[in-house]
């Protein structure tokens, strides 16, 4: 359950003069925040933690922590939008072999404004919570809270992540033991076409009872419902 390597957004420390350069710019007045959220989950969530998006990536900065401090220092939403746009277009310089390296322009055009507006609207906002699972199930909430949808498509969870394998295609027919192994020991078997990048610590970070619920949820849900990436048609199964 891993995906091709996507580089991390580098949130460089900004001096007062740099921040001032972004202040007051209403960069994304007409931005599509819903589109920005989807793009963030697909392109950024595997590297960055952001509570509202339910992403837990560790390669890049924790955006809640970074922007909570900025908000406390008086940075307004328009300024945050400008900072995020600048980092997307010109990430901090890191060697391309560094796992935290991010190429410029992971998203382009109006999508940059959409992602920036989304991040600026939620990052570091006090007491902000992840959304509720679409189906209201306990397993769906565990799936969401652990950021699985940022990398994987699962129709019933309304997630369209493309970094890792499509779970609607890969999981049908698998036993509970196989699904659990793919979560707690993702390096044991890598799906063809994907790299070994899934965090190996879910066996420790997810409580055993929650892991059991999640496995059951995936086993019962994968391959059912409409695939958000296919415009609502039923998901297929490849095994």
* Token output for 230: 């296919």
Residue 224's pLDDT band (boundaries 50, 70, 90)?
confident
Smallest Cα–Cα separation from 209: which of 217, 198, 201, 219?
Answer: 217
C-alpha span between 1 and 190 (Å, rounded): 7
Angle at which helices 110-122 and 33-43 cross, to 10° = 90
Fold: same for 16-122 and 138-230: yes
Residue 140 neighbours by CB under 8 Å, 6+ apart: 133, 134, 156, 157, 217, 221
Per DSSP, 234 falls in state: B
- pLDDT 10s digits, 132-151: 888 899 999 999 888 788 78
> Which CATH fold would you assign to the domain 138-230?
Cytochrome Bc1 Complex; Chain D, domain 2 (1.10.760)
**pLDDT tens track for 88-124:** 998 877 666 776 678 787 899 999 999 999 999 999 9
Q: What are phi and psi of 135, to 5 degrees?
A: -90, 0
Choosing among 1.20.1560.10, 3.20.20.70, 1.10.760.10, 3.40.630.190, the CATH entry for 16-122 is 1.10.760.10
pLDDT, one tens digit per residue, over 64-76 is: 999 999 999 999 9
pLDDT tens sequence across 182-206: 999 999 999 999 888 788 888 998 9
pTM as predicted: 0.61
Range of lowest pLDDT (26-35, 177-186, 225-234): 225-234
DSSP reduced 3-state for 169:
helix
Could you tell me the residue ranges of all domains in the chain?
Answer: 16-122, 138-230
- Residue 43: CB atoms within 10 Å: 23
Q: How far apart are CA 146 and CA 164, in angstroms?
A: 14
Q: Which token pair is 146?
A: 């652990």
């Amino acid at each position: 359950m891993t995906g091709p390597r996507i580089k991390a957004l580098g949130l460089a420390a900004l001096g007062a003069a740099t921040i001032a350069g972004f202040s007051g710019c209403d960069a994304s007045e007409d931005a599509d925040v819903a589109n920005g959220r989807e793009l963030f989950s697909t392109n950024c969530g595997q590297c960055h933690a952001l509570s509202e998006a339910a992403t837990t990536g560790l390669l890049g900065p924790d955006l809640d922590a970074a922007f909570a401090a900025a908000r406390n220092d008086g940075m307004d939403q328009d300024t945050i939008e400008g900072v995020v746009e600048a980092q997307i277009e010109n990430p901090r310089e890191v060697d391309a072999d560094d796992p935290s390296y991010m190429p410029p322009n992971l998203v382009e055009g109006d999508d940059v404004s959409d992602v920036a507006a989304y991040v600026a609207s939620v990052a570091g906002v006090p007491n902000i919570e992840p959304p509720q699972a679409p189906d209201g199930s306990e397993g769906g909430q565990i799936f969401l809270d652990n950021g699985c949808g940022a990398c994987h498509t699962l129709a019933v969870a309304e997630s369209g992540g493309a970094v890792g394998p499509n779970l609607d295609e890969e999981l049908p027919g698998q036993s509970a033991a196989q699904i659990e192994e793919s979560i707690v020991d993702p390096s044991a078997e890598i799906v063809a076409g994907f790299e070994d990048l899934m965090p190996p610590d879910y066996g420790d970070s997810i409580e055993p009872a929650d892991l059991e619920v999640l496995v059951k949820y995936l086993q019962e849900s994968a391959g059912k419902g409409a695939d958000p990436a296919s415009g609502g048609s039923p998901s297929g199964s490849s095994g």
